[in-house]
């Protein structure tokens, strides 16, 4: 072949023309193009990957396939490049451009990713109903079970049961067979076919017993039990959750306690408080105990049993408070348990107890997020609870700004325009107190979106300009690129075009 006749497949656009990277002229007129312009210019391998992982999916959302492929191709890190090319290939399948998609897949350099790329492309083909083409790809893969599963589901969905079961029979991995049976059971329930639902539930349980790992089997049984609850078949759910409890005897921490907690929650939801307590008695991790009791409380609250819910939460709170630091096995899970108890107290109508729990949380980030969530619950309540009490406990200007925006959104849904106006002004006034440019840009971006939605074009323009101003002060190109990509998602959603002032601001720092 003459070298002059060769064309890199990544440079051949969907329409057959050469793909081009964003020009400066395009960048100053469009936030997403500006983001792409900056991302290409990032010198650090890691920082470029971070930017491209945000920018390329945004370009795909916009539908600019050539630009997305070109941006993926110039990514320095080969693994990131390959993953982004797979994302572009999937998007091409969604647009029925299979030839271009396969060119991109063939350009994947990492062997393990290459096999995954063919699988993901095949799965996208199944989504659009092209099962024959997907099965052709499956023939050339070493592990095509996910494709067989997807095709079987598609046939079943359209009533082609013989084809569905034939495809299912080709699956070799028990876990995949079990997950397919669960999916088919869900469709049978939607079709109001109780006999078939029960058959598929039994199939899923049988396949779960064929797995090599007890925790895998337990997770499948939990999913089966959850589906039975969704189908209002608590009688079927209880047996599955009991089997999870039995399997946990073979497990060690952390799988054991987490699975026991999940089984106890399932049993409680299925209406068997006695069996739930028996499973809970086997849990030794206090964080898991508290989390499970919070789940019990949520179920009781939904049933209108607020007094019992508060008792469960009091017990959870007491358990967490009794922990010594050396007893905490997973600090992240422990923080989550504290937050869950606080929020459940608030949802159950006990603001004073929620405040007490938040005051006892030692981790700053958890305390801040708990206060924010409780403020949102208070603002959304029908009795006009004082959300300010919780808001004043936040203590982080960034979270305060995001919380004000969320509460303003709640007020807007309630039709309280006066409250919305006051909250928007308060948030705008607080922007200068956020000293980290990345965070300030994020808050300004969300405020801009809210102002567009409430019909405040002047305020929206001001927030946009503030976002661009703080973006210009960021220390590296990757942070600027990511911030602009996220801002572009809001301008696109609100069909907001940049004016000359915004374009000039962009040009001042991207050049």
DSSP per residue, 281-298: TT---HHHHHHHHHHHHH
Q: How does residue 359 score in pLDDT terms, banded at 50, 70 and 90?
A: very high
Q: How does residue 15 score in pLDDT terms, banded at 50, 70 and 90?
A: very low
The pLDDT, as a whole number, for residue 109 is: 85
The pLDDT, as a whole number, for residue 503 is: 96
Rama region for 21: left / alpha / beta (φ>0; ψ in -120 to 50; rest): beta
The pLDDT, as a whole number, for residue 13 is: 40
**Cβ neighbours around 509 below 10 Å, total:** 16
State yes or no: pLDDT of 211 exceeds 70: yes
Helix H or strand E encompassing 135: helix 131-138
Establish how many alpha carbons lie within 13 A of residue 438's alpha carbon, considering only the half-sphere containing its beta carbon: 8
Nearest CA to 225 out of 255, 258, 268, 191 is that of: 268
Beta bridge partners of 12: 18
pLDDT of 173-198, one tens digit each? 999 999 999 999 999 999 999 999 99
State yes or no: pLDDT of 291 exceeds 60: yes
**Cβ neighbours around 17 below 10 Å, total:** 10
The pLDDT, as a whole number, for residue 10 is: 47
The pLDDT, as a whole number, for residue 111 is: 84
Q: How does residue 250 score in pLDDT terms, banded at 50, 70 and 90?
A: confident
Residue 211 CA to residue 174 CA, distance in Å, equals: 6
Where helices occur in 270-396 by DSSP H, the ranges are 273-280, 286-302, 306-322, 331-347, 351-360, 364-380, 387-391
The pLDDT, as a whole number, for residue 134 is: 97
The pLDDT, as a whole number, for residue 16 is: 38
The pLDDT, as a whole number, for residue 4 is: 40
State yes or no: pLDDT of 93 exceeds 90: yes
Mean residue pLDDT of the chain comes to: 93
Residue 450 CA to residue 358 CA, distance in Å, equals: 29
Residue 333 CA to residue 318 CA, distance in Å, equals: 17
State yes or no: pLDDT of 383 exceeds 80: no
The pLDDT, as a whole number, for residue 27 is: 95
State yes or no: pLDDT of 261 exceeds 90: yes
Q: How does residue 124 score in pLDDT terms, banded at 50, 70 and 90?
A: very high
State yes or no: pLDDT of 55 exceeds 90: yes
* Arithmetic mean of pLDDT, 85-109: 94
State yes or no: pLDDT of 385 exceeds 80: no
Nearest CA to 340 out of 299, 379, 374 is that of: 374
The pLDDT, as a whole number, for residue 361 is: 97
Establish how many alpha carbons lie within 13 A of residue 245's alpha carbon, considering only the half-sphere containing its beta carbon: 22
The pLDDT, as a whole number, for residue 339 is: 98
The pLDDT, as a whole number, for residue 46 is: 97
Which residues are CB-contacts of 15 (< 8 A; sequence separation ≥ 6)? 66
State yes or no: pLDDT of 7 exceeds 50: no
- Across 81-85, 353-357, 377-381, 443-447, least confident range: 377-381
Residue 466 CA to residue 382 CA, distance in Å, equals: 35
Q: How does residue 6 score in pLDDT terms, banded at 50, 70 and 90?
A: very low
The pLDDT, as a whole number, for residue 5 is: 40
Nearest CA to 107 out of 73, 135, 133, 75 is that of: 73
Q: How does residue 426 score in pLDDT terms, banded at 50, 70 and 90?
A: very high
The pLDDT, as a whole number, for residue 382 is: 67
The pLDDT, as a whole number, for residue 253 is: 77
Exposed/middle/buried for 293, CB within 10 Å: 0-12, 13-18, 19+? buried
pLDDT of 132-162, one tens digit each? 999 999 999 999 999 999 999 999 999 999 9
Beta bridge partners of 18: 12
State yes or no: pLDDT of 213 exceeds 50: yes
| 3-state class (DSSP) for residue 213 | coil
The model carries a pTM of 0.88
């Amino acid at each position: 072949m003459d070298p002059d006749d060769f064309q890199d497949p990544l440079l051949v656009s969907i329409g057959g023309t050469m793909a081009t990277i964003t020009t400066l002229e395009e960048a100053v007129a469009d936030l997403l193009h500006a983001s792409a312009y900056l991302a290409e210019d990032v010198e650090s391998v890691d920082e470029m990957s971070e930017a491209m992982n945000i920018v390329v999916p945004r370009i795909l959302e916009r539908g600019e396939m050539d630009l997305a492929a070109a941006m993926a191709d110039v990514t320095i890190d080969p693994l990131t490049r390959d993953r982004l090319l797979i994302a572009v290939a999937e998007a091409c399948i969604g647009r029925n451009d299979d030839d271009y998609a396969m060119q991109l897949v063939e350009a994947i350099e990492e062997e393990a990713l290459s096999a995954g790329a063919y699988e993901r492309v095949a799965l996208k083909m199944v989504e659009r109903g092209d099962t024959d083409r997907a099965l052709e790809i499956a023939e050339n893969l070493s592990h095509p079970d996910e494709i067989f599963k997807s095709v079987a589901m598609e046939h079943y969905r359209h009533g082609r049961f013989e084809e569905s079961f034939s495809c299912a029979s080709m699956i070799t991995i028990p876990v995949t067979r079990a997950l397919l049976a669960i999916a088919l059971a869900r469709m049978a329930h939607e079709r109001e076919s109780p006999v078939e639902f029960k058959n598929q539930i039994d199939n899923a349980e049988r396949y779960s017993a064929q797995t090599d790992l007890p925790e895998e089997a337990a997770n499948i049984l939990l999913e089966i039990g959850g589906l039975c609850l969704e189908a209002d078949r608590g009688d079927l759910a209880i047996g599955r959750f009991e089997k999870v409890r039995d399997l946990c005897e073979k497990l060690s921490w952390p799988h054991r306690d987490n699975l026991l907690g999940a089984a106890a929650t399932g049993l409680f939801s299925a209406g068997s408080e006695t069996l739930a307590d028996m499973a809970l008695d086997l849990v030794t991790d206090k964080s898991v105990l508290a989390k499970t009791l919070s789940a019990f409380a949520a179920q009781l609250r939904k049933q209108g049993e607020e007094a019992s819910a508060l008792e469960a939460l009091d017990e959870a709170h007491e358990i967490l408070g009794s922990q010594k630091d050396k007893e905490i096995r997973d600090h992240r899970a422990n923080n989550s348990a504290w937050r869950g108890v606080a929020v459940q107290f608030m949802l159950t109508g006990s603001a004073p107890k929620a405040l007490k729990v938040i005051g006892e949380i030692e981790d700053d980030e958890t305390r801040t997020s708990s206060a924010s969530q409780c403020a949102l619950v208070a603002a959304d309540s029908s009795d006009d609870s004082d959300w300010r009490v919780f808001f004043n406990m936040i203590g982080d200007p960034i979270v305060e700004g995001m919380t004000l925006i969320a509460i303003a959104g709640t007020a807007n849904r309630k039709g309280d325009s006066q409250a919305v106006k006051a909250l928007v002004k308060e948030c705008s006034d607080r922007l200068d107190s956020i000293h980290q440019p990345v965070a300030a840009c994020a808050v300004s971006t969300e405020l801009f979106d809210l102002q567009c939605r409430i019909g405040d074009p002047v305020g929206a323009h001001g927030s946009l300009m503030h976002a661009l101003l703080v973006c210009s002060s960021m220390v590296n190109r990757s942070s600027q690129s990511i911030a602009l990509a996220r801002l572009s998602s809001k301008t696109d959603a609100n069909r907001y075009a940049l004016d000359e002032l915004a374009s000039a601001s962009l040009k001042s720092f991207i050049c």
